[in-house]
Structure formats: structure tokens, C-alpha cells
């Protein structure tokens, strides 16, 4: 029996036992899965929910109602970890009044030994802890918890495998996340991801295609392919296939849908890939291409394997081949040793590239990474000032990028973002611009045409055309 089938069997066998433990008799016990961090984590959270559903759980967002609470954690920056510990701390009281409550912690934070130590020592009410590589074994972990009545810690080292066949329980709607690869081999000097998510490994293309077709058939219309660096997809697979070839195969699937992907590492973003995006009509004309810094010296220190000039050359090529392409980026402010002049090179790069939006971060030292041991003389307050300067500039650039859309009619995938009851819908254009417009809730999930009337920070405003 393969490992996943064995877990299925354990999950089925646990159903009656869990109902008994939680006294739910004719109802399903309730689980709360709270995911922190990136889209890769969101996709992992959907799998964890799929496994819990096999064990007979239904889901709630309320910790008070939950019989099992699982925090799927993020380690990318210190404030992400602080937030998770705050949330775990808040459960102490609840566990005291509800002793049967099962509390579990999983995901990136649990791959760090110092975090596991802290959970062992200071959070005795956390019942089980496991890392991403052990996620498919959730049924047997819970079984051990119940059998032995003890705390279970399973943080297995990365075995380099891809666990296929775990059912994902996705959010309802028309957007879906589809992991195509796991882990990262790039070791950017500031980043903890290669340590917590292990070596890069790609899913086989036929498994991706199969899941992709299922998503299209189920009505998903905006499917994002996920990986820490999708541009290096395919390395190590028996079949010679790269990301461009994968995009072509997915683009050939019949149906009215859009394909997105993230994240693209500039060092591996080839002209061939840009040509593929240009010619595949279902692949969106938006590229998330994190630059991190506009200074070649800082990029070298970050171990990014490209410099300012080669990045700008790539952007020029993309604009030439895909004239309406939009770009977004991640920026780190205050990398150790960065000077104000070097920071200003990032500002001037923003002025040159003209991103539609940015994800911006102040450098956060992560234990075990090279950058964490570099001298970092610039104060937090100073970095805060630089950060605000960056945001102000990007606000201007973002607005400047959006204004030309006034008067144009754009095609968006309408969504209910919580205001449909008030008659307000939102949607995204192919180029990933947000559009707000009045419309009936029944349009959510459909492609509609909207005439843009004005712009505000972050969004275009318009009316159905």
C-alpha cells in the first residue's frame, strides 16, 4: 500500500473516534485551519483541510467553536513569527476550559529547531507539531496523539519527494492555486525558505496537467501556478520539460480561463519564457518579477545572480514582446550595509521600470542565513524613513500607470470581495489591475466588461459596459 493510501485508511478509521472524543454524535467535529504567509502556504492549507475532511471534520473560523485548531505558519520575517506566537498564546485559556481541544502547529516555522524547542518548553498545550514534509502524515500524527495521549513532534528532514494524491479542499470561487514545484535551491543570503522548505523539486507535468484540467472542469477561471522560482521548473525530472513547455501544454487546454504564475526569479527568466507568455493567449500579460534592490552591489550581497543592467534588459525585452505587459515586484529596504545612495538606486529603478504595485519589506534577520551575520549599522528608524520614501514614490508611479486606463473598457473576472451585498463588485484585469464597479452579486465568477471612469490608490473605478 502506498504511503498516501495508508494515511487515507487511518483517516477513515479515525472518524468514529474523533466524534466520540468531541461528543459530536450526529454532527461532524469542527476544525479551524489558520494559514499565515504566502500563497504556497495557502495551497498547503487547502491540502491540510482536504485531509481533515477525510477524517470527518467540517470547518469553522471561530476558535471557540473548533474541536481542532491548526496553525499553518510562516517564517519569512520576524513579525510573521511574532504574530503566530501571539495567536498560539491566545489559545491557552481556551484549552484550559476545553481540555479535549486538539492544537497543532505546522508549516515553515516548525522546520526551525529553535522554534520547536520553544513550543516544547513554553507552550505545553500544543499537542502536535509537524513540518511541511510530514504534512501528508497528519492522520497518523493525530492517531498517535490520541493513542498515546502525549505530545507529538514530527519534523522530518526533507526527503526530496513530492507527495502526490492528497485531496485539496479549495475555497469556493473561481480562483485556484496550483503548486507545480516545492522548495528552493537559490539561497538568497537573506532568506530562510531554502532551510525550511528544503531542496527544489518539480511535480511531474502529467500530474499538473491532470489537476489543471480538473480545476478548469470544476469552473475555476483564474489559476495561479505556484513555486518559489517557477522559471526553474522541470530540473531533475526524467522527461525534459521546462516552464515554457509546461505553460504551452496548459494553454492548450480548452476553456475560458486565465493562467497566472508566481514567482519568477529574474536570473532564470529567459527570452524563451517571455516569447511563450506573448504567444499563449490564456497566460496573463502580468509578470511578478521580484528585483529586491536596484543596486548591483546589494544584489551581489543578496546572492541574486543578476545585476541592475541585466534586470533592466529583461524588462525592456518583455515590454518589446508583450507591449501591454504589467510588472510587479518585491523590494527589501535596509539590507545589511545598504547605504542611502544604494537605496536611491532602488528608487531610480522603480522610476525606470514603472511597476503597477509592489510588495515592500524592511530587512528582517533570519537565524542561520548569511545576511543575519553581516554588520547592519543603519538604525530601524532610518530604515523606516527610507521605507516611507519608497512607498510614497510607488504610490505616484502606481497612479501614473493606472490613469491611461480612464475611458478604456477592460475585461475583468468579477468577484465578490465582501461588498456584493452593497451592490459593489471587484475584479482583476488580465494585467492584474483591480477594478471596482457596481453590479449584481449574480455576476460574481463571470468575465464582464467594465468601462473605467476614474482611479484611486490601488484600484480603477468604473461601470459595467
Site residues, ligand 5AD (CB under 6 A)? 76-77, 190-191, 290, 292, 330, 332, 361, 363-364, 366
Q: Where are the alpha helices (DSSP H) in 230-325?
A: 243-251, 271-279, 296-301, 308-321
Q: Does 193 bind ligand SF4 (CB under 6 A)?
A: yes
- Binding-site string for ligand SF4 from residue 229 to residue 248, where x marks contact by CB under 6 A and - marks none: x-------------------
Q: Does 91 bind ligand SF4 (CB under 6 A)?
A: no
C-beta of 328: minimal distance to ligand 5AD in Å?
Answer: 11
Residue 194 partner contact from ligand SF4, ligand 5AD, none using kind-dependent CB cut-offs of 5 to 8 Å: ligand SF4
What lies within 8 Å, CB to CB, of 179 at 6+ separation is 40, 43, 203, 225, 226, 227
Q: Does 95 bind ligand SF4 (CB under 6 A)?
A: no
- For ligand SF4, the closer of residues 81 and 430 by Cβ is 81
Q: Does 414 bind ligand SF4 (CB under 6 A)?
A: no
Residue 186 partner contact from ligand 5AD, ligand SF4, none using kind-dependent CB cut-offs of 5 to 8 Å: ligand SF4
Query: Would you list the DSSP string of 29-75?
Result: -EEEEEE-SSHHHHHHHHHHHHHHHHTT-EE-S-TTT-SEEEEEE--
C-beta of 291: minimal distance to ligand SF4 in Å?
Answer: 11
C-beta of 194: minimal distance to ligand SF4 in Å?
Answer: 5
Q: Cβ distance 257 to 282 under 8 Å?
A: yes
Residue 332 partner contact from ligand 5AD, ligand SF4, none using kind-dependent CB cut-offs of 5 to 8 Å: ligand 5AD
What lies within 8 Å, CB to CB, of 300 at 6+ separation is 307
Residue 128 partner contact from ligand SF4, ligand 5AD, none using kind-dependent CB cut-offs of 5 to 8 Å: none
Q: Angle, to 10 degrees, between the axis of helix 340-353 and the axis of helix 380-402? A: 10
Which residues is 72 bridged to in the sheet? 35, 106
Considering only CA atoms, which of 262, 348, 278, 353 is closest in space to residue 316?
Answer: 353
Q: Where are the alpha helices (DSSP H) in 252-288?
A: 271-279
Q: Does 426 bind ligand SF4 (CB under 6 A)?
A: no
In whole angstroms, give the CA distance from residue 230 to residue 202: 9
C-beta of 76: minimal distance to ligand 5AD in Å?
Answer: 5
C-beta of 334: minimal distance to ligand SF4 in Å?
Answer: 16
- For ligand SF4, the closer of residues 186 and 326 by Cβ is 186
- Binding-site string for ligand SF4 from residue 151 to residue 190, where x marks contact by CB under 6 A and - marks none: ---------------------------------x-xxx--
SS3 332: strand
Q: Does 227 bind ligand SF4 (CB under 6 A)?
A: no
| The only residue of 77, 133, 265, 288 in contact with ligand SF4, by rule CB under 6 A | 265
Burial class (CB in 10 A: 0-12, 13-18, 19+), 137: buried
Site stretch for ligand SF4 (CB under 6 A), options 19-27, 53-61, 191-199, 207-215 = 191-199
- For ligand 5AD, the closer of residues 182 and 190 by Cβ is 190
Chain CA centroid to CA 386, Å? 26
Burial class (CB in 10 A: 0-12, 13-18, 19+), 134: buried
Considering only CA atoms, which of 461, 455, 356 is closest in space to residue 412?
Answer: 461
Determine the straight-line distance between the first and last CA of the chain, rounded to whole angstroms: 56
Residue 56 partner contact from ligand 5AD, ligand SF4, none using kind-dependent CB cut-offs of 5 to 8 Å: none
- For ligand SF4, the closer of residues 185 and 256 by Cβ is 185
Q: Does 201 bind ligand SF4 (CB under 6 A)?
A: no
Nearest residue to ligand 5AD, using CB? 330
Site residues, ligand SF4 (CB under 6 A): 184, 186-188, 191, 193-194, 228-229, 265
Amino acid at each position: 500500500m502506498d504511503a498516501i493510501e495508508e494515511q487515507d485508511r487511518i483517516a477513515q478509521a479515525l472518524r468514529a473516534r474523533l466524534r466520540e472524543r468531541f461528543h459530536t454524535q450526529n454532527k461532524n467535529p469542527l476544525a479551524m485551519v489558520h494559514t499565515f504567509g504566502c500563497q504556497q502556504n495557502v495551497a498547503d492549507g487547502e491540502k491540510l483541510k482536504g485531509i481533515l475532511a477525510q477524517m470527518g471534520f467540517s470547518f469553522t473560523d471561530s476558535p471557540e467553536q473548533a474541536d481542532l485548531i491548526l496553525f499553518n505558519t510562516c517564517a519569512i520575517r520576524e513579525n510573521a513569527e511574532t504574530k503566530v506566537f501571539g495567536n498560539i498564546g491566545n489559545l491557552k485559556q481556551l484549552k484550559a476550559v476545553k481540555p479535549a481541544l486538539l492544537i497543532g502547529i505546522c508549516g515553515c516555522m516548525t522546520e526551525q529547531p529553535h522554534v520547536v524547542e520553544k513550543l516544547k518548553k513554553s507552550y505545553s498545550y500544543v499537542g502536535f507539531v509537524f513540518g511541511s514534509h510530514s504534512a501528508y502524515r497528519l492522520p497518523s500524527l493525530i492517531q498517535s496523539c490520541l493513542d498515546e495521549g502525549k505530545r507529538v513532534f514530527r519534523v522530518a528532514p526533507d526527503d526530496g519527494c513530492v507527495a502526490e494524491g492528497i485531496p485539496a479542499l479549495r475555497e469556493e470561487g473561481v480562483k485556484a492555486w496550483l503548486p507545480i514545484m516545492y522548495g528552493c535551491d537559490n539561497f538568497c543570503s537573506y532568506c530562510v525558505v531554502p532551510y525550511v522548505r528544503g531542496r527544489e523539486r518539480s511535480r511531474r507535468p502529467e500530474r499538473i496537467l491532470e489537476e489543471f484540467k480538473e480545476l478548469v472542469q470544476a469552473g475555476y477561471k483564474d489559476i495561479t501556478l505556484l513555486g518559489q522560482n517557477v522559471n526553474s521548473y522541470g530540473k531533475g525530472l526524467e522527461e525534459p520539460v521546462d516552464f515554457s513547455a509546461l505553460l504551452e501544454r496548459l494553454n492548450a487546454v480548452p476553456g475560458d480561463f486565465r493562467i497566472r504564475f508566481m514567482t519568477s526569479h529574474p536570473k532564470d527568466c529567459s527570452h524563451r519564457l517571455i516569447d511563450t507568455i506573448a504567444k499563449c493567449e490564456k497566460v496573463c500579460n502580468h509578470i511578478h518579477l521580484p528585483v529586491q534592490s536596484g543596486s548591483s552591489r546589494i544584489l551581489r550581497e543578496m546572492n541574486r545572480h543578476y545585476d541592475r543592467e541585466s534586470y533592466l534588459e529583461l524588462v525592456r525585452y518583455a515590454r518589446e514582446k508583450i507591449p501591454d505587459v504589467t510588472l510587479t515586484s518585491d523590494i527589501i529596504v535596509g539590507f545589511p550595509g545598504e547605504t542611502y545612495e544604494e537605496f536611491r538606486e532602488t528608487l531610480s529603478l522603480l522610476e525606470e521600470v514603472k511597476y503597477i504595485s509592489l510588495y515592500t519589506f524592511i530587512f528582517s534577520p533570519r537565524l542561520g542565513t548569511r545576511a543575519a551575520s553581516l554588520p547592519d549599522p543603519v538604525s530601524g528608524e532610518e530604515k523606516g524613513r527610507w521605507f516611507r520614501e519608497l512607498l510614497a514614490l510607488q504610490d505616484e508611479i502606481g497612479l501614473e500607470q493606472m490613469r491611461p486606463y480612464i475611458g478604456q473598457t477592460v475585461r475583468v473576472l468579477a468577484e465578490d470581495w465582501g461588498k456584493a451585498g452593497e451592490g459593489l463588485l471587484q475584479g482583476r484585469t488580465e494585467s492584474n489591475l483591480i477594478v471596482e464597479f457596481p453590479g449584481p452579486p449574480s455576476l460574481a465568477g463571470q468575465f464582464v466588461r467594465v468601462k473605467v471612469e476614474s482611479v484611486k490608490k490601488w484600484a480603477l473605478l468604473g461601470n459595467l459596459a
